[in-house]
Structure 1
Amino acid sequence: MTEEMIFDLQRFADDNGDSDAADPASDAGGAGGDAGGTDKTPPEDAGGTILGGDGKDANPAGVPDAYDFKSIVPEGMDYDEQSAAAFGEVAKKAGLSQEQASTIAAYGMQYMQQGVDAAMQAVQETQAAWAEEARTQLGGQFDTTVAKAAAARDALAAKIPGLTAMLNETGAGNRVEMIRLMAAFGDLIGEDGGDRNGVAGAEKSIYPNTDFKKYSS
């Protein structure tokens, strides 16, 4: 057997022991594993997401610093600066543009206006029902009773400013109870308005059979 075919254990051991140090490919591979990096895990404090950025944009595109809702206020409705500012803060936190916030605000105002209109309609219907009830209860005495009530109302309105406006605003002027009450005053003070300085307008006493002159000093 020739020398080239001899299997030398010692030489195999020596070669194996030096292979790691002598093999540049192995060293390069190891360095490549560290330098090239196979661990794709991002740092813990990367901030935000890959596409979302850091999430620190305090004023996103399209969100105004302040909102203006004056142009969408329905006719006849007052513009409330405080309420507008409060809604503006909510809109800004939601990231709404001026157009988006105005659309929502306009819908809210329209809905509120519809509620107001419905309430006013209900009030008017109630007052009309009171007037119809008064006509029914007073019957043939309606015109006479209302005339006495109107005279008393005018006399009292001269002493109580705003009385007539109150009767109209509240609708109390249509209540049969108020009409009868005023008519009773009309009987006491006279249909001429109760002018105490005139003979014809002298106030009628509720004690017609009593002569109070006897008790005057």
Structure 2
Amino acid sequence: MYVFNADAVWFGASYISQGIFITILISCLALFAGLVIGMPLGVMRASHAKGFLRKLSDGYIEIFRNIPVLVQIVWFYYVMPILTGVNFDPITAAVIALGLNTSAFLAEIFRGGINGVPTGQHDASASLGFTHAASMRHIIMPQVVRKMLSPLVNQFIVLIKESSLVAYIGVLDIMHRGDLITTEYSAPLESYTIVAIYYFALCYLASKVTGFVEQRFSFPE
């Protein structure tokens, strides 16, 4: 019969909570990297041109969307140093892998947002003398960003959950600390329940806060 371990709960809750900052840090940095890379990729994907850049963006997105996130994390941590001679610390490797993976999904969100703007606005901006770049910057992208608030929230929550995979390369996040408590106290029920509670709290809080921001700063169509 399983014996409940109160010591694992008492010490584990405190120890595991120290990984919350690392989980949030990795998720935020990966989301930022995903936005920086994903936006130009989305613009290229929304373009009707079929040139080299479009093919490059298509290939990039297909690669990162169709390889499991865990494989990407492990690849950047163990394989990239072999190819480049540069050793990444676990957090850096995690941010790079999650950021590149996220950029592929955000690119599709940007593409959908751009294509969702009525074509008449593209034509109107051109008739007013806006170049394509100026039109995207001043007219199209502000609307796209407003429409993307909800998908961005969802992607950030996905990132928080996917960040648990970085425990595989030794990052002391929530998940890895839960593993250590399980090993130390032989208490999987207690430690992984605490881990689940922390992840639920983070994702729930993120959805509520960003939901408020969406309501506060969105405008009627």
After TM superposition, the score normalised by the length of structure 1 is 0.22
**Structure (1/2) with the larger helix percentage:** 2
Q: Which protein, 1 or 2, shows the higher relative CO under an 8 Å CA cutoff with sep ≥ 6?
A: 2
